[in-house]
Amino acid sequence: MVKIFDTTLRDGEQTPGVSLTPEEKLIIARQLDKLGVNVIEAGFPVSSKGEFESVRAIANEGLTATVCGLSRIIKNDIDRCLDADVGMVHVFVSTSDIQIAHTIKKSREEIVADSIKAVEYVKDHGVLCLFSAMDATRTPPAFLREIFTAVEGAGADIINIPDTVGVMAPSAFHRLVKEVCSYMNILVDVHCHNDFGLAVANSLAAVEAGAREVQVTVNGLGERAGNANLAETVMSLHSIYGAKTSIRTQYLVETARLVERLTETRIPINAPIVGDNAFSHESGIHSHGVIERSDTFEPGIMTPEMVGHRRRIVLGKHTGRHAVKKVLEEAGYHPTEDQLQEILRRIKELGDKGKQVTDADLQTIAEVVLGEIAKGEQALVLKEVAVMTGNTITPTATVRALFRGEEKVLANIGVGPVDAAVKAVREILGQDSLIRVRDFRIEAITGGSDALAEVVIGVEDTEGRKVSARSAREDIVMASVEALVSAINRLLLLEERTSK
Strand 66-72 vs strand 88-94: parallel, antiparallel, or unpaired?
parallel
Residue 46 has a pLDDT of: 97
DSSP state at residue 267: P
Q: Give the contacts of 185 (CB within 8 A, at least 6 positions apart).
A: 152
Amino acid at 100: I
Strand order in the sheet with 466-473: 436-444, 453-460, 466-473
Q: Give CA 70 to chain center in angstroms.
A: 23
Cβ atoms of 400 and 459 within 8 Å: the answer is: no
Report the residue count for the chain.
Answer: 500
Contact 113, 120 (CB under 8 A): no
Tell me the C-alpha to C-alpha distance, in Å, between residue 83 and each of 43, 62, 116, 386: 13, 16, 21, 54
Spatial distance between the Cα atoms of 222 and 9, rounded to a whole number of angstroms: 9
List residues bridging with 160 in a β-sheet. 132, 189
CA dist., res. 419 & res. 413, Å (int)? 8
Alpha carbons 464 and 27: distance in angstroms, whole number: 22
Contact 193, 163 (CB under 8 A): yes
pLDDT score, position 447:
57
378-499, what's its fold? Answer: Double Stranded RNA Binding Domain (3.30.160)
- Written as one letter, the residue type at 442 is I
- For residue 403, which of 379, 424, 425 has the smallest C-alpha distance? 379
Instruction: Count CA atoms within 13 Å of residue 404 on its CB side.
Output: 7
Domain 3-263, CATH 3.20.20.70 — does that match? yes
Question: Considering only CA atoms, which of 47, 147, 139, 151 is closest in space to residue 100?
Answer: 139
The radius of gyration computed from the CA coordinates of the chain, to the nearest angstrom, equals 27
Q: Where are the domains of the chain?
A: 3-263, 280-373, 378-499
CA distance 56 to 50: 10
Q: What is the DSSP string of 463-489?
A: T--EEEEEEEES-HHHHHHHHHHHHHH
In this predicted structure, what is the pLDDT of residue 73? 97
Task: Please report the sign of the dihedral spanned by the C-alpha atoms of residue 284, residue 285, residue 288, residue 291.
Answer: negative
**Cβ within 8 Å of residue 183, ≥6 positions away:** 145, 148, 149
pLDDT given at position 295:
59
What pLDDT is stored for residue 189 in this prediction?
98
Q: What is the pLDDT of residue 48?
A: 94
Per-residue pLDDT of the chain in tens (500 residues, 90 and over written 9):
999 999 999 999 999 999 999 999 999 999 999 999 999 999 999 999 999 999 999 999 999 999 999 999 999 999 999 999 999 999 999 999 999 999 988 999 999 999 999 999 999 999 999 999 999 999 999 999 999 999 999 999 999 999 999 999 999 999 999 999 999 999 999 999 999 999 999 999 999 999 999 999 999 999 999 999 999 999 999 999 999 999 999 999 999 999 999 999 999 989 999 998 887 754 444 444 444 555 554 566 888 899 998 776 666 677 777 778 877 887 778 888 888 888 888 778 777 777 667 766 777 677 667 764 444 467 888 899 999 988 778 999 999 999 988 899 999 998 888 889 888 998 888 765 678 888 888 876 555 555 567 788 888 888 778 888 877 677 888 888 888 888 888 888 877 766 65
**If we measure between CA atoms, which residue out of 298, 304, 238 comes closest to residue 273?**
304
pTM metric for this prediction: 0.74
